[in-house]
């Protein structure tokens, strides 16, 4: 099961042809089994996050399977991929909206302000959809260099685990002026499992990779992170902490918009990690520098725990 | 599943109450997932 390499990608990537892919299955199996072993299975948040992760993993698996069988890097047609993602994302959003047991569960929390919380109402569903589907694709776009997507995912999952623990703890949430969301603390176990599985996967995915994550891992990990951010009501902080994924996505949007409007490209190649590669940075330098940026952004996000 | 088992065992021996703490279960969850992915890797 080897990954076909995009013919339009950097030439340095042609040597990666033949590297096994669908390593995301390893991540998903480890996360789900570990969560089922250690989490409280009577908690609805645990089941929502596990089922959404598996649903996005299934979509990614279909995409990977088509790439491998047809040996074409195009994979699953985009419209079918977005349809599957939309169904899974909307189902999770609607379920969370109608099972919200406290008003804070559907309010937008603004970082750095103690008393600013905007009730979202039905816009909660749209926000959740955007977070889940958007970050699923954002992690997928970032997954272009060895270890580039998984390490920031580990950093962000670890930070979200802290947010989940605090949000689910009556005393700590009051002390830190965060909304108390009963039951959300169990998501810390899922986050920890994601971080553990991610590190184990990185053992094999580090440059030069012995295995790739594939869409099965990237789509699922991105959706899981986005959904956890929604449940713990930290969407804005999450967008900052997951800034590497946001930057990669924005680079693609800007590149496409610029080319269609002016006929000129902003970057040598998008997503932006390819731009730096084509500027002459060796692949490990791009990867580690993006990791450093990710750590800084996660630390800024964690600072909002106290600075408000 | 192990959480439920430990909650049941806690009725026999109070030591198992320690598994009620999310922090301990998060650490065990991370270690379990890490071990699984290392063992199942290529």
Residue the block writes with tokens 């993993």? A57
Q: How many angstroms separate the CA of residue B12 from the nearest CA in chain A?
A: 20
Tell me the residues of chain A between 127 and 186 that have a Cβ less than 8 Å away from chain B.
161, 165, 168, 185-186
Q: Name every residue whose Cβ is closer than 8 Å to that of residue A263 and which is 6 or more positions away in sequence.
A: none
- Give the per-residue pLDDT at A143: 95
Phi and psi at residue A140, to the nearest 5°: -65, -40
- Average pLDDT of chain A to the nearest whole number: 93
State mean pLDDT over A75-85. 91
pLDDT at A6 over 70: no
Q: How many angstroms separate the CA of residue B13 from the nearest CA in chain A?
A: 19
Which residues of B fall within a CB distance of 8 Å from A161?
Answer: 26
- Give the per-residue pLDDT at A21: 82
Could A197 and B33 be called an inter-chain contact, meaning their C-beta atoms sit closer than 8 Å?
Answer: yes
Q: What is the pTM of this model?
A: 0.94
- Give the per-residue pLDDT at A56: 98
Phi and psi at residue A181, to the nearest 5°: -120, 95
CA atoms within 13 A on the CB side of A54: 13
State mean pLDDT over A152-167. 98
For this complex, say whether ipTM is above 0.95. Answer: yes
- Give the per-residue pLDDT at A17: 73
pLDDT confidence of A133, banded at 50, 70, 90?
Answer: very high
Q: Name every residue whose Cβ is closer than 8 Å to that of residue A101 and which is 6 or more positions away in sequence.
A: A182
Q: What is residue A113's three-state secondary structure?
A: coil
Could B34 and A37 be called an inter-chain contact, meaning their C-beta atoms sit closer than 8 Å?
Answer: no
Per-residue 3-state assignment (H helix, E strand, C coil) for A279-292: CCCCHHHHHHHHHH
Of B28, B29, B38, the CB nearest to A200: B38
pLDDT at A8 over 70: no
Q: Is any Cβ of chain B less than 8 angstroms from the Cβ of A20? A: yes
Closest CA to A152 of A303, A305, A304, A297: A297
Phi and psi at residue A109, to the nearest 5°: -90, 125
- Give the per-residue pLDDT at A307: 87
- Give the per-residue pLDDT at A75: 79
Of B1, B3, B27, the CB nearest to A192: B27
- Give the per-residue pLDDT at A49: 98
pLDDT at A16 over 90: no
pLDDT confidence of A134, banded at 50, 70, 90?
Answer: very high
Of A29, A196, A211, the CB nearest to B29: A196
| A119 sits in which H/E element | strand A117-119
H-type alpha helices, A99-169: 123-142, 150-167
Residue in chain B closest to A32 (alpha carbons) equals: B33
State mean pLDDT over A126-131. 96
Could A39 and B30 be called an inter-chain contact, meaning their C-beta atoms sit closer than 8 Å?
Answer: no
- Give the per-residue pLDDT at A2: 67
Could A211 and B37 be called an inter-chain contact, meaning their C-beta atoms sit closer than 8 Å?
Answer: no
- Give the per-residue pLDDT at A1: 61
- Give the per-residue pLDDT at A28: 97
pLDDT confidence of B40, banded at 50, 70, 90?
Answer: very high
| A117 sits in which H/E element | strand A117-119
- Give the per-residue pLDDT at A308: 80
- Give the per-residue pLDDT at B42: 86
Q: Which of A25, A189, A204, A221 is the best substitution to test chain B (most B C-beta atoms within 10 A)?
A: A189
Q: What is the pLDDT of residues A219-250, one digit of tens each?
A: 999 999 999 999 999 999 999 999 999 999 99
Q: Is any Cβ of chain A less than 8 angstroms from the Cβ of B22? A: yes
pLDDT at A72 over 90: no
From CA A302, how far away is CA A299, in angstroms rounded? 5
Q: What is the pLDDT of residues A269-293, one digit of tens each?
A: 999 999 999 999 999 999 999 999 9
């Amino acid at each position: 099961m080897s990954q076909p390499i995009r013919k339009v990608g950097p030439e340095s990537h042609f040597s990666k042809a033949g590297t096994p892919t669908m390593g995301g299955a390893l991540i998903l199996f480890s996360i789900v089994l570990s969560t089922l072993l250690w989490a409280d299975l009577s908690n609805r948040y645990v089941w929502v996050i596990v089922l959404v992760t598996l649903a996005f993993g299934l979509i990614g698996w279909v995409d990977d399977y088509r790439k491998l069988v047809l040996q074409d890097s195009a994979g699953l047609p985009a419209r079918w991929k977005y349809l599957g993602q939309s169904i899974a994302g909307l189902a999770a959003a609607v379920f969370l909206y109608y099972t919200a047991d406290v008003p804070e569960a559907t309010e937008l929390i603004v970082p750095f302000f103690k008393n600013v919380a905007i009730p979202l109402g039905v816009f909660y569903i749209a926000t959740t959809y955007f977070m889940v589907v958007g970050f699923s694709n954002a992690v997928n776009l970032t997954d272009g260099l060895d270890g580039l997507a998984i390490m920031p995912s580990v950093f962000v999952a670890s930070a979200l685990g802290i947010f989940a623990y605090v949000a689910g703890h009556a005393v700590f949430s009051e002390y830190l002026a965060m909304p108390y969301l009963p039951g959300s603390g169990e998501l810390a176990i899922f986050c920890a499992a994601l971080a553990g599985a991610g590190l184990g996967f990185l053992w094999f995915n580090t440059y030069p990779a012995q295995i790739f994550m594939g869409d099965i891992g990237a789509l699922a990990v991105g959706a899981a992170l986005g959904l956890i951010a929604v449940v713990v009501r930290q969407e804005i902080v999450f967008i900052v902490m997951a800034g590497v994924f946001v930057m990669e996505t924005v680079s693609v949007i800007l590149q496409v918009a610029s080319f269609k409007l002016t006929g000129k490209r902003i970057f040598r190649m998008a997503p932006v990690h390819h731009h730096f590669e084509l500027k002459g940075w060796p692949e490990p330098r791009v990867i580690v520098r993006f990791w450093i940026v990710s750590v800084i952004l996660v630390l800024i996000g964690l600072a909002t725990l106290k600075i408000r | 599943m192990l959480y439920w088992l430990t909650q049941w065992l806690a009725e026999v021996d109070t030591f198992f109450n320690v598994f009620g703490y999310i922090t301990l279960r998060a650490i065990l969850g991370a270690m379990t997932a890490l071990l699984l992915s290392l063992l199942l890797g290529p």
